[in-house]
Structure 1
Amino acid sequence: MLLYGRNPVLEALKDGRVTELLVARGVEEAFVQELKTFDVRLKFSPRIELDQIAGTTGHQGVIAEVEDLAWASVDDILDRAEARGEDLLVVLLDGVTDPRNFGAIIRSAEVLGAHGVVVEERRSAPLSPVVAKTAAGATSYLPVAQTKNLPRLIDQLKEAGVWVYGAAGEAAQDVGRTDLSGKVALVIGAEGEGLRRLVREKCDGLVRIPTRGQVQSLNASVAAGILLYEAARARGPR
């Protein structure tokens, strides 16, 4: 798989997943020297060649050939929380198919202390270079898992003592007044469609983010970031 962008590439290098680097001629020497600290072959090419390979000019002068990103398991996420001695905080995505939203949610989840992200197999964007680029390296640290049936997983989490809250703009409950300090799963739906009916019904509660403007809805990744911040705040300093 090809990965581009400086932060994602550097994190993949630290993780030992890079087999070769393609670097644009003319990038600053300090960055080249940083790349040379890793035991990976560098190939220098004109920037236009990198544009063509990446299909974008947003590669920041470096493209890496890496091992494909691998899906974790839900058990990996549960084990991560247990190993840290922390109450579980997990993000469940219901139909988020935009790769940039997916990547941004992974990034926010890692930054704000979640233990993982779970998607339903047939209702998600794949783990692609665009997801990895938008996640800015977070895919190297945060388990991202698939489940065959999200409503069934919600039932299993609830049986394990996890409180499940779904984001819904029309919900009566303000997320800022919701106790997110224990074992919590936050469910984010697709933009436009929101949560599926069965997923909504499985949640312990639906929460909304108060808005003041004329536009009444938020981008899925922004909504996820706000809910994750509220959960992180409820848990106190690390």
Structure 2
Amino acid sequence: MAKNDELVFGIHSVTALMERTPERFIEVWFLKGRDDERVTPLINLARQYGVSVQFMHRKALDEKSEGEQHQGVIARVKAAKMLTENDLSDIVENTLAKNELPFLLILDGVTDPHNLGACLRNADAAGVQAIVVPKDNAAKITATVRKVAVGAAETVPLVQVTNLARSMKALQEQGVWIIGTAGEATQSLYECKLQGPMALVMGAEGKGMRRLTRETCDELVKLPMAGSVSSLNVSVASGICLFEIVRQRLG
């Protein structure tokens, strides 16, 4: 496989990517003998776009997927362009130009691909316009992330920035209010007004946000924890926080 190529596994991930950027596709491998209502439309779509379609036995697909669950579908695609700080500024400007409120999710130190995939899925459902991560010490888009995200990796832009605190300050200059989640915060999520242009910052489970990230936030909130556990998985916590913002905006 060429250096700049990626593998995408699973029906949802491959379908979502093909519907949005068919020009990236090089070839798609399907499980030989599988012909059902979930796979047949994808085979037809690939052929419609002139993408090479091949059929393989399960053992060959398993070898290509290197242990990942592929659902009988694997695609080889050209790597996507990496989005950076300039793209983030454009996303906010374009959102404001459409008279919409910027709504971003910032992940600081989230390195587990399953958590990133779940956060992408949450972000898509909540209407987030982009997820922002540091370039280093953070999970990147991989086949595992795409599989967990169930298509959301193709709908929510992932922006990698060199300096997270600097990018947060640039967002603040564009009028975005930045809310950070921290266990030591004195204010509950449900006591905070969450209705304007906003970015929510989530740190890694256990470690939380880094010091400079925390200090750059405009406001810190916490989730009220009534039980014996001290923290929630970052994807669970992000879902709760994102939909509280959605609830307040709809109210």
When the two structures are superposed, what TM-score results if normalisation uses the length of structure 2? 0.88
**CA offset at residue 11 of structure 1?**
0.6
Task: Rate the CA distance shift 1:74–1:57 in 2: closer, same or farther, 3 A.
Answer: closer
Q: Tell me which of 61, 67, 74 is aligned to 1:56.
A: 67
- 2:107 corresponds to which of 93, 97, 100: 93
The 3-state SS of whatever aligns with 1:36 is helix
Indicate conservation of the 8 Å contact 2:11/2:38, yes or no: no
- AA paired with 1:125? A
Given candidates 91, 109, 128, the residue that maps to 1:77 is 91
1:170-192 C-alpha deviation (Å, 9 max, x unpaired) = 32211122111101110111122
- Map of 1:133-212 to 2, 5 A cutoff? 133-212=147-226
The structure 1 residue matched to 2:56, chosen from 45, 51, 55, is 45
Give the drift of 1:96: 0.8
The verdict on how the C-alpha distance between 1:101 and 1:49 changes in structure 2, with shifts beyond 3 A counting, is same
Q: Among all aligned residue pairs of Structure 1 and Structure 2, give the percentage whose two residues are the same amino acid.
A: 40
> 1:33 aligned to 2:40?
yes
**Aligned-pair RMSD on alpha carbons?**
1.7
Using the alignment, how far apart are the partners of 2:90 and 2:154 within structure 1?
A: 14
Contact 1:165 1:186 in 2 (8 A): yes
What is the CA–CA distance in structure 2 between the aligned matches of 1:184 and 1:62, rounded to whole Å? 38
Q: Are 2:19 and 1:14 aligned?
A: yes
TM-score w.r.t. structure 1 length? 0.93
Length, aligned pairs only: 237
Instruction: Tell me the amino acid that sits aligned with residue 15 of structure 2.
Output: L
What letter matches 1:88 in structure 2?
Answer: P
Counterparts of 1:168 and 1:161, CA distance in 2: 22
Decide which moves more: 206-215 or 219-228.
Answer: 206-215
Q: Distance in 2 between matches of 1:167 and 1:27?
A: 46
Confirm or deny that 1:105 pairs with 2:105.
no
Cα distance in structure 1, aligned partners of 2:25 and 2:239: 29
What residue identity is the alignment partner of 2:81? A
Distance 1:78 1:87, change over 3 A: same
The correspondence for 2:31, drawn from 24, 32, 37, is 24
- Distance in 1 of aligned mates of 2:237 and 2:168: 20
Give the aligned residue type for 1:235: R
Instruction: Could you tell me which runs of 5 or more consecutive residues in structure 1 were left unpaired when the two chains were aligned.
Output: none
Distance 2:168 2:65 in 1: 37
Q: Is the 8 A contact 1:77 1:143 kept in 2?
A: no
2:38 is paired with a residue whose SS is helix
> 1:213-224 alignment to 2 at 5 Å?
213-224=227-238
Q: Deviation at 1:83?
A: 4.5
Superposed displacement of residue 209, structure 1: 1.4
Deviation per CA, 1:60-98, whole angstroms, max 9, x where unpaired? 111111121332221242144225421111111111111
Letter in 2 for 1:98: D
Distance 1:101 1:186, change over 3 A: same
For the residues of structure 2 that align with 1:25 and 1:136, how far apart are their CA atoms? 23
The runs of at least 4 consecutive aligned structure 1 residues that moved more than 6 Å come to none
2 CA distance for matches of 1:176 and 1:29? 46
Change (3 A) 1:216 1:145: same
